[in-house]
Structure 1
């Protein structure tokens, strides 16, 4: 029995020793880092543990979990979801078809309709995409709606939100050598989803990825250009374009890409069929 006691005590001691060594290593990184970062105490590291995200090498699983928490904050306090089951099912079917044909089809995707009359769409990390009822009404057909969703999937496939979160955390002085605390990461994610500060380069990349996804899913790639041109002709620039730089340049680049692929074919252009699908919105 005495031997058993010493064996248990030895295993217990080793666990605490490993934990202490982990804390000391983390402290050493924080102290030895030449970057100017916000201090984080050993007690915070000990208590928070897995609640610290290292954005430079975040895993798919961590990204999906972080996106889930950002989505919960958005749904609970920032946006109002449109709850008609038929419309939501329709949008989800389009989104899942596009996601399966994207360059990042190995994570789960969630597509939601936001009750808002502005013409807008946005995404956050981990596969969460949002389109407004105003955008659904503005689109002429399924291919045009799909072109917007494909663009947002392009942002997710490129992990633009993660890079923006990292840059924002550094600019705000909340990043540490150990990483970014979970609650801070969620709040930044919510702000980024609603504020959409996408760079010119990010938009061009999301356009290219989205256009190819659109074609692989069987939709007419020309719908992406047609929808942008339609929105530009409106009296006031919709939110979806006003927060995205260089729209005319993007249209030119998309036309060149379509011409190079001979991508004017494809489906989803039946206006009457689309209007029937979104009829509950009228």
Structure 2
């Protein structure tokens, strides 16, 4: 005699385990197939079998942004050479932590030194900041170095790279109705971080945010202006400025903001102490 109660219970268990996941995959499949595919469309099968990791850049959560930044960092470490000088990295991180504690965004930051003599710095997303050794050597004091770190943190705070990634994805036709897959998002982000200048508006915004964090952290705000002026006066324009348009206007804007502040600090302006520290760290 058939135990109908047991049979029905087993059927319901089977349906829960297999029917609903099947429906979910079917919906995802129909959505992708019903969307007109551009020339660089998302490869569907890898998405289905790798967990369908899709980034909606227009509605990215903080957790997703940090995860995206980590994945970009993995890719960038194959493109640039991260310094293994633990003491130098620790020193830059120490400055960064001081600024992060006074920034307007509470996310975990990661500060890394790049073994490159070019005077440059850049940031991706989710808290990842990169400073070239060439820039560290060019700065005359700790406050000038802090001003650059603060500026790059300002880009992260303003989510400037994410906005650029979205614009690039739409312009190049790789964004679908669901968004971007992981490899596409990482590839676009890394390329933009390394090779493309940000807009004039983004630079002004990063300057403003960086100056605010610099001042709150107790550093001399004048260092942001002095460092930028120093680079402008060089015979050849450093990468740091050549990829950041409107430098002279930015100097004027920063100086106006500093002039309107009261009780500006002079912390971090000891040139001799900084130069001695850097020489010891780079031996």
Q: 1:144 to 1:13 in 2, by over 3 A?
A: same
Query: Structure 2: which 5+ residue stretches go unaligned?
Result: none
* Structure 1 match to 2:110: 110
Taking structure 1 as the reference length, the TM-score comes to 0.90
Aligned to 1:53: 55
Tell me the TM-score normalised to structure 2 length. 0.90
Aligned twin of 1:83: 84
Pairwise CA distance, 1:180: 0.3
Greater Rg by CA: 2
RMSD over equivalenced CA pairs, Å: 2.3
Query: Which position in structure 1 is the counterpart of 2:157?
Result: 157
Contact 1:133 1:281 in 2 (8 A): no
Distance, in Å, in 2 between the alignment partners of 1:141 and 1:69 is 33
Return 257-266 or 185-194, whichever deviates more. 257-266
Seen in structure 2, the aligned counterparts of structure 1 residues 113 and 169 have a Cα distance that, compared at 3 Å, is same
Does the 8 Å CA contact 2:32/2:44 hold for their aligned counterparts?
Answer: no
Q: Which residue of 2 aligns with 1:275?
A: 275
Aligned match of 1:194: 194
Tell me if 1:259 matches 2:259.
yes
CA distance in 2, matches of 1:41, 1:15: 27
The range that moved more, 59-68 or 41-50, is: 41-50
Q: Does 1:205 align with 2:244?
A: no
In structure 2, relative to structure 1, the CA distance for the partners of 1:234 and 1:48 (3 Å cut) is same
For structure 1, the residue ranges without an aligned partner over 5 or more in a row are: none
Query: Residue 47 of structure 2 contacts residue 181 of structure 2 at CA under 8 Å; is this kept in 1?
Result: no
1:177: which partner in 2? 177
> What CA distance in whole angstroms lies between the structure 2 residues aligned with 1:122 and 1:41?
31
Mapping of 1:62-73 within 5 angstroms?
62-73=64-75
CA separation of 1:258/1:83 partners in 2, compared to 1, >3 Å: closer, same or farther?
Answer: same
Deviation at 1:172, TM superposition (A): 1.3
- Return the offset for 1:14: 3.1
The verdict on how the C-alpha distance between 1:38 and 1:191 changes in structure 2, with shifts beyond 3 A counting, is: closer
Distance in 1, Cα, partners of 2:41 & 2:116: 41
Contact 2:215–2:264 under 8 Å retained in 1: no
Q: What is the CA–CA distance in structure 1 between the aligned matches of 2:128 and 2:114, rounded to whole Å?
A: 12
Contact 1:90 1:277 in 2 (8 A): no
Pairing 1:25-40 to 2, within 5 Å after superposition? 25-26=27-28, 39-40=41-42
* Aligned counterparts of 2:214 and 2:194: Cα–Cα separation in 1: 25
Question: Residue 218 of structure 1 aligns with which residue?
Answer: 218
| Higher mean C-alpha displacement, 260-269 vs 141-150 | 260-269
- 1:261 & 1:63 partners in 2: Cα distance? 33
Distance 2:125 2:230 in 1: 29
Q: Distance in 1 between matches of 2:89 and 2:262?
A: 32
